[in-house]
Structure 1
Amino acid sequence: MKRTVLVAAAFLTAASMAFGQPAKGPQPAEPDYQFTVVKENPVTPVKNQYRSGTCWCFSTLGFLESEAIRIKGIKDPAAYPDFSEMFVVSHSYKDRAVKYVRVDGNIGFSAGSECGDVLHVAADYGLVPQAAMPGLQELPVHGELDATTKAFVDAIVENPNKSLSPYWKNAFNALVDAYLGEVPQTFEYEGKTYTPQSFRDEMGIVPSDYVSLMSVTNVPYYTEAPLEVADNWRWDTAWNVTLDELMDVLYHSVEKGFTVAWGTDVSEKGFTRNGVGVLIDEKAATSGSDQERWVGKEGEKKDVAPAVLPKELEVTTESRQLGYDNKATTDDHGMQIYGIATDQNGTKYFMVKNSWGETGKYKGIWYCSDSFVRAKTMEITVHKDALPKDLKKKLGIK
C-alpha cells in the first residue's frame, strides 16, 4: 500500500470539514409567509442525519415509511413504522466498495448516493426497524467512517499485485460494522420474529413497484437512462419526461394520497433556514452539520429575500437544462414531498420533510415553491400507481 489508512483518514476528515463560511454583514429582513395547507399526507417524525451525507437514505426511508402507512392503512401515528437508516447505509457502503474495486476506482466513493440505492438494498437485503439496528451513535457523525472507508478501497485499487486476496471484502465489512454496528439476521418486532426480507414484505414494500423520473433535454423523452451525476454510482436509470409532466406527477401524487422521494439542489440562498425554498439566484455554503453546510448555524440570518414576498424567476425547460449543464443545479440533497400549500398570494408550495432535525420555523418542514421545485428537481421516485394514467401508458408501465 502506498499510504496508510490512518494518514488518509486524517487528511480526508480535515478536508471534509473545509466548507466555505457564510457571508458576513447585515442581511435583509425575512418575509412573513402565511401558508395554508391544501393537502398533506401522513409522514413519520422528522429525523436528523446530523454530520453525515446520508440524506438519500433518510429521505427515501421516510418515503417508504409513508408508503407502508398508506399500503397497510395505518391510522394511529403511534403505530407508524420506523426503518433503520444504518442498515441501508451499511449495505450501501459494502456494495459500493465491491463495485469501486471492480472498476478500478472509476466511480464515486463518498457519502452521497441516490434514492435507487435504498430500493436496491430493500430488494436485495430487506429492511429492518430502527430498534433492530439503531447504529452506534445517537446522531451520526460520519467523517471518520467516510475517510477510512475511502482510504481502504483506494489501497485495494492501488494494490500492485495482479490479483486480490480473498480477505479484503471481509476486512472492509468489519470496518463498516465497527462504525455502524453489525447487520441483524433476525430480530423481534411486535412479538414476532422476522428476517430483514420478511419484515420488508410484512410492511408491504415491493421495490419493483417504484419508478424514478427526471427531466433533461440530453436524453430522448419517454426513454430510460441513468441520471448523470457522480452519486448515482449504481447507474440506476430514470424515465425522462417533459418538465410539465414531471410537475404533473408531483401534484397528482400528493393529491391522490402518495408522497414522493425528491432529489434536489438546496445550495440556493432562497432555500432559507426558516423553512422556505424560493427561487432566488444566489449561492450558499457553510460548515459543520449537513444543515449548517447549506443554511447556516442557529441564530445566523442568511435569508436574502426582502420583507415582501419575492418575485421568483421564471423557469423553462431551457433554463432548467442550463442549470444542469453548468452545474448551477446539482444533486446535493434528498428530501420527501408530502403535501401542497399556498401562501397569502396564492402561490403554490410543496410541503417537504427534511432530515436536519426539528429545526427552523416549521420544525423540520420546508415549504418549497412551484418555481423552486420546477427549477431544482433532479429526480423523483414514486409508486407506479401515483403516475397519471396517460403518462403511465406512454411509459408502458403496467
Structure 2
Amino acid sequence: MKTNLITLALLTFAFSVSAQKYDFQTLKDIETEPVQAQGITGTCWSFSSTSFLEAEILRINGKKIDLSEMYNVRHTYPKKAWNYLMRQGKAQFGEGGLNHDVINSAKIAGLVPQSVFSGYPNGTNKYDHSKMAEELETLLKKYANPEVQLDPKWKTEVNAILDQYIGKEVTEFTFEGKKYTPMSFLKMTQLKLEDYVPISSFTHEPFYKKFILDVPDNFSNGSFYNLPLEEFILNIDFALEKGYTLALDADVSEKTFSSKHGIAVIPENESDATLILTEIKSEKAITPEFRQQEFENYNTTDDHLMHIVGIVKDQKNNKYYKVKNSWGKDEKHIGNGGYIYMSVPYMKLKAISVLLHKNALTKKTKKALKL
C-alpha cells in the first residue's frame, strides 16, 4: 500500500511538471496607446503602423497622442487605385498594405489625431469596409480596360467613395487649443519619418542589401534590408531592451496562433497543437532553411500586421514577445488583454518583417547596412 502511494505521488508530480499552465512574468513593457479594433476591414497595416508611431511620439517627446488610423487609409487607397489602373488591372487591388505605406502616406499627407478624423461613417463607432471595398473594386475594374482610353474622372469617383465611407480630407484643424495642418501636426510630433527602416530575413536575396519583398500586399514595391535570421531576431531584442517598439508583419494562419488564448507558438510535435495553447510544450527549432521553405511553399504569408511592445517569460524561462493586436478585446480576442504573447520560434518562422527606428539597430547591423 505504501509503495502504491509513493508511486501515485511520483506520477502526480511528474504530471504536474510536464503539464504546466502558462504563468507569464513581464520582463519589458513599453507604454503604448490602448488596444484598438480594426473592425471588418483589412487595415491592420495602418493600425500596426499608427500604434507604432504613437509609441515613437511618446518615446521622443513624452506626448500621448491618439492618431487616426483611417486618415492613413484614406490617403493610401488612391495610390493603390493608381497602381491597379496603371498596370491595367494586372495587379492586386484590395484592403491590404504594409507598414511603409503609412510612412509613405505621412510623408505626403501628414498625420492627424483620432479626434479630428475618426473614419467612422454616418456617426457609427465600428469600422466596416466591406461595401466600400466592393464598390471600389467594381469601379476600378470598369476603368482597367486597356482597349479603352482611361478617363481621368476615375480619380473623382474613387475619392467620392472614400469620402462617403471614410471621410473627406482634412486641411486644417484645432488640437489642444492650437491650429494645425496635417503637415504642421506631423512636425509638432517631432517624428523624422526618414529614420524608420524595415528589416527582414530571407535566403533568396543577399544579406545586408535592400530587396523588394515579393508579397501581394507590397503594391508600393517597398524595399527591405535583408539580415541573417539570428541577426534579425537579435535586432528585435536589442530594440526592445533599448526602449524601442517595432511594427510587425507576420503570418497568423497557424492554428497555434490564438487571439482567444493570447498565444502564438510553434509546437515541436504536431500532436501538441491544441494543448500548447494553454500548456507549456516543447517548440520546434527554426532554421533559416526551414523558414525559407515555408515562405516559398506559401505556408508563411503576410497575413497580418501588429506591434511588438515588450517581452515576457513563462515559468520555464521561455521568452515571448508581447505583441499588440488590433482585433479588440471581445470574447473571441480577449487573450492577454488583446495582446499576443509570441514565442521566439514563432517569430523566427512567421515574422515577415519589422519596421523600427534606425537607432534601434545594433551597431554591427547599422554599420553593415551603412546607416
What is the TM-score when the length of structure 2 is the normalising length? 0.90
Determine whether 1:118 maps to 2:102: yes
Kindly state the Cα deviation for residue 282 of structure 1 after the two structures are TM-superposed: 10
Q: Give per-residue Cα distances to partners, 1:157-177, cap 9 Å, x unaligned.
A: 02642x222322111111111
- Cα distance in 2 for partners of 1:281, 1:132 equals 48
- The percent identity for this pair of structures is 36
**1:147 aligned partner:** 134
Cα 1:98–1:277 shift into 2, 3 Å: same
- In the TM superposition, what are the counterparts of 1:332-343 in structure 2 within 5 Å? 332-343=303-314
User: Is 1:193 aligned to 2:179, yes or no?
Assistant: yes
Secondary structure, in 3 states, of the residue corresponding to 1:131?
coil
Conserved 8 A contact 1:259-1:338: yes
* Aligned-partner SS, 2:323: strand
Deviation digits for residues 126-169 of structure 1 (CA, Å, limit 9, x no counterpart): 011001111124111111111111111111102642x2223221
1:356 aligns with 2:356: no
Give the deviation of 1:105 after TM superposition.
1.7
**Match in the other structure for 1:16:** none
- 2:268·2:282 contact (CA, 8 Å) conserved in 1? no
Q: Is 1:61 equivalent to 2:35 in the alignment?
A: no
> Which of 86, 90, 96 is residue 74 of structure 2 equivalent to?
90
Distance between the aligned counterparts of 1:280 and 1:189, measured in 2?
Answer: 48
Q: Measure the CA separation in 2 of the matches of 1:382 and 1:265.
A: 19
Q: 1:129–1:308: structure 2 CA closer, same or farther, 3 Å change rule?
A: closer
CA distance in structure 2 between the aligned counterparts of 1:354 and 1:303, rounded to whole angstroms: 21
Q: Give the partner amino acid of 2:65.
A: P
Give 1:249 shift.
Answer: 0.8
Distance in 1 (alpha carbons) for counterparts of 2:184 and 2:252:
36
Matches of 2:348 and 2:150, distance apart in 1:
47
Once the two structures are TM-superposed, the CA of residue 307 in structure 1 deviates from its matched residue by 5.8
SS in 1 for 2:247: strand
Structure with the greater alpha carbon radius of gyration: 2
Contact 2:20 2:280 in 1 (8 A): yes
Partners of 1:343 and 1:323 in 2: CA distance:
27
Partner Cα separation in structure 2 for residue 85 and residue 308 of structure 1: 36
> What is the rounded CA distance, in whole Å, between the counterparts of 2:269 and 2:42 in structure 1?
23
Q: Contact between 1:348 and 1:369, CA under 8 Å: does it hold in 2?
A: yes
Q: 1:126 to 1:309 in 2, by over 3 A?
A: same
Counterpart of 1:198 in 2: which secondary structure?
helix
Is 1:222 the equivalent of 2:208?
A: yes
Q: Matched residue pairs, number?
A: 344
Report the secondary structure of 1:234's partner residue.
coil
CA separation of 1:307/1:379 partners in 2, compared to 1, >3 Å: closer, same or farther? closer
Aligned residue in 2 for 1:288: none
Superposition RMSD in Å:
1.7
Asked whether the equivalents of residues 259 and 336 of structure 1 are also in contact (C-alpha less than 8 Å), the reply is yes
Say if 1:173 and 1:159 are closer, same or farther in 2 by CA, change over 3 A: farther
- Displacement of 1:124 in angstroms is 0.9
Q: 1:31 to 1:120 in 2, by over 3 A?
A: farther
Q: 2:39 aligns with which of 40, 50, 59?
A: 50
Whole-angstrom distance in 1 between the partners of 2:81 and 2:75:
10
Give 1:281 shift.
7.9
In the alignment, the residues of structure 2 paired with residue 245 and residue 378 of structure 1 have an alpha-carbon distance, to the nearest angstrom, of: 14
* Separation (CA, whole Å) in 1 of partners of 2:20 and 2:301: 27
> How far did 1:250 drift?
0.5
Q: 1:280 to 1:154 in 2, by over 3 A?
A: farther
Q: 1:339 is paired with a residue of what secondary structure?
A: strand
Query: For 1:252, which of 226, 238, 251 is the aligned residue?
Result: 238
Confirm or deny: 8 A CA contact 1:84 1:127 kept in the other structure.
yes
Structure 1 residue aligned with 2:363: 389
Question: Does structure 1 retain, via aligned residues, the 8 Å contact 2:251–2:300?
Answer: yes
Note the residue ranges of structure 2 that are not aligned, 5 or more in a row: 1-18
CA contact (8 A) 1:33 1:309 kept: yes
Question: Runs (4+) of structure 1 moved beyond 4 Å?
Answer: none
**What is residue 77 of structure 1 aligned with on the other side?**
none
Write the mapping of 1:208-357 to structure 2, written as runs, cut at 5 A: 208-272=194-258, 273-280=260-267, 303-305=274-276, 308-357=279-328
Residue pair 1:280, 1:312 contacting (<8 A) in 2 also: yes
CA distance in 1, matches of 2:280, 2:131: 42
Q: What CA distance in whole angstroms lies between the structure 2 residues aligned with 1:90 and 1:209?
A: 24
